[in-house]
Structure 1
Amino acid sequence: MYNILVTGANGQLGSEIQKLSLDYPHYTFRFADRTILDLSDLSATEDFFENNRFDVIINCAAYTAVDKAESESDLADALNHRFVSTLAKIAKQHRTKLVHISTDYVYEGKNHRPYTETDPTNPQGVYGKTKCDGEKAILDVSPKNTIILRTSWVYSGYGNNFVKTMLRLGRERDSLGVIFDQVGTPTYAHDLAAAILEVLPLIDNQAPEIYHYSNEGVASWYDFAKAIFELSGVACHVNPITTDQYPTPASRPHYSVLNKSKFKADFSIPIPYWRDSLKSCLKALGEHQ
């Protein structure tokens, strides 16, 4: 029996964990959003954990607005770095298992082979830098029974994401331009949530370990959009465009495919192919044809 706290409860991943929690009656869950736990208030965070004890913390909370982070660096740092540092200290003090979600944006994005956990980090924007600083804070504090899970291109039936945006725009327009020179792997938050809940009993390490988790396979955003329209029966033509044709305040990794060999070797959990998971998401949304 675990008493589990899930932060960022109303985000994509937190919402998927809430949905799956019904399948884990031997776990007790508490789902915290900003009304319960103000992540930017570190003193209040410490008070919260003094009054509430947990066996496991799953930290899904983050500042994820990649472009806005360029102009809101203090807020991004507060949520992605300073709060994470406090969380690591609390986990160490209370001997609590900690699962922290990180991102492919910690890498420079110029590789030509899938990134391993030991590849050097070199984030190119504020979002990636603050997430990388959060990782470093955990490694510095070094709580036992802690894992950092880097993932990529997360989508789900909850919140705002690429899949839901494409479905909306695809019905409004005859054609769309979508970037084809950024390559990674779409990750269904439902699969990530299921993997987290399955690995909890297997986490037993003296120092924090970093793992990669995404769905299997490789795609560009163009490929992803084409698959969304194909599988949902939306008649919208997709035109491939380059990154410089769609400028954004924050730069994106051009290549962020993650090598998941370590995760598979240590936990032996099957990882679904990204198109199969997309079908599942569209079916859950009532969009699969």
Structure 2
Amino acid sequence: MDSDPTTGGGTSWLVTGAGGQLGGDLLRALADRPGDHVTGLRRADADLTDSDAVRGYVRGWLADAARRDQRPVVLNAAAYTAVDDAETDEATALRVNGHAPGWLAEELAGAGRLVHVSTDYVFSGDASHPYEPGDPTAPRSAYGRTKLAGEQAVLAAGGDAVVVRTAWVYATHGSNFVRTMLRLEGERETVSVVDDQHGTPTWSRDLAAGLVAAALSPARGTLHATNTGATTWFGLARLVFEAAGADPARVQPTTSAEFRRPAPRPAWSVLSPASWTAAGLAPLPAWEDSVRACVTELRS
């Protein structure tokens, strides 16, 4: 199948992880594309720990795309995202985050395009400058190790693929930090939030639009995509309170040492946008603007 984005039959899209935050926003981003065909792959449709199930599903979908004379593109938003659980269940996390992307990439090699979503957790988190795609990886958690394995498997397949790392994703739906802070604002007088972990809050709606643009571009290799700017979890929580009309002073700073978790979190998760813009892709909006827009929508 021709992989040129100008193929006359339009595009056949497969969104994996369609039941998740990013997957849901990807389906919304693709909903109004005339002539395209969109399929959402959810957990019940194929077991991502089973090579035969994944490969069989993709082969059937590719055959359908060929019958429609459409260019096949997979947006892989499926992942084992329970960061703490992965510390004691790394084998399952590795099959979902590491092996399954490789199976997808191998089936698509020479047949279609793959955009694979990865994470800031592939880095050690001890930098002081925004991470570039080529910076050394050194994950400190099982989640990070398994996501790095997925990146490597995708690129090793040698097909038409791009890996997009992102960070601190939230949405108007699902379980995420922004929604949790809004809930706690109504339940507690004060909230303590870590102020020694730095990154960029990224609205899945902005990221979804960017991933679709990346899929339609000629970009290959590894890119970084987050909203613009950086803050800490404490800074994000204060803005959520402010955007909700609450006193941001009710958010109190604390340290990672005081808020221990089974999996270590990167102290520095700021990703450089240089690779994204160098690929001709539009920068995602400022993180503050997107948080305010998301909170306004949630409260309406």
Normalising to structure 2: TM-score of the pair?
0.91
Instruction: Give the secondary structure class of the aligned counterpart of 2:78.
Output: coil
Candidates 55, 59, 69, aligned match of 1:46: 55
Partner of 2:272: 259
Instruction: Give the secondary structure class of the aligned counterpart of 1:34.
Output: coil
**Structure 1, unpaired ranges of 5+:** none
User: Is the 2:131–2:270 contact (alpha carbons within 8 Å) kept by the matching residues of 1?
Assistant: yes
Partner of 1:129: 145
Q: For residues 28-107 of structure 1, what are the structure 2 equivalents within 5 Å?
A: 28-53=37-62, 54=65, 55-92=72-109, 94-107=110-123
Partner of 2:243: 231
Partner of 1:141: 157
User: Is the 1:46–1:90 contact (alpha carbons within 8 Å) kept by the matching residues of 2?
Assistant: yes
Instruction: Give the secondary structure class of the aligned counterpart of 2:137.
Output: coil
User: Is the 2:243–2:296 contact (alpha carbons within 8 Å) kept by the matching residues of 1?
Assistant: no
C-alpha separation in 1, matches of 2:281 and 2:170: 24
User: Is the 1:178–1:241 contact (alpha carbons within 8 Å) kept by the matching residues of 2?
Assistant: yes
User: Is the 2:227–2:286 contact (alpha carbons within 8 Å) kept by the matching residues of 1?
Assistant: yes
Normalising to structure 1: TM-score of the pair?
0.94
C-alpha separation in 2, matches of 1:125 and 1:268: 31
**Equivalent residues, number:** 282
Deviation string 1:19-63 (CA, Å, 9 cap, x unpaired) is: 222232232100010111221111111111222214101000000
C-alpha separation in 2, matches of 1:248 and 1:280: 30
Greater displacement, 275-284 / 247-256: 275-284
**Structure 2, unpaired ranges of 5+:** 1-9, 66-71
Please report how far the alpha carbon of residue 235 of structure 1 lies from its aligned counterpart in structure 2 after TM superposition: 4.2
1:2 aligns with 2:15: no
Q: Percent identity?
A: 38
Greater displacement, 219-228 / 40-49: 40-49
Instruction: Give the secondary structure class of the aligned counterpart of 2:31.
Output: helix
C-alpha separation in 2, matches of 1:12 and 1:49: 22
C-alpha separation in 2, matches of 1:234 and 1:25: 42
C-alpha separation in 2, matches of 1:201 and 1:179: 38
CA RMSD of the aligned region, Å?
1.3
C-alpha separation in 1, matches of 2:239 and 2:169: 16
Deviation string 1:95-133 (CA, Å, 9 cap, x unpaired) is: 210000000000000000000000000000000000001
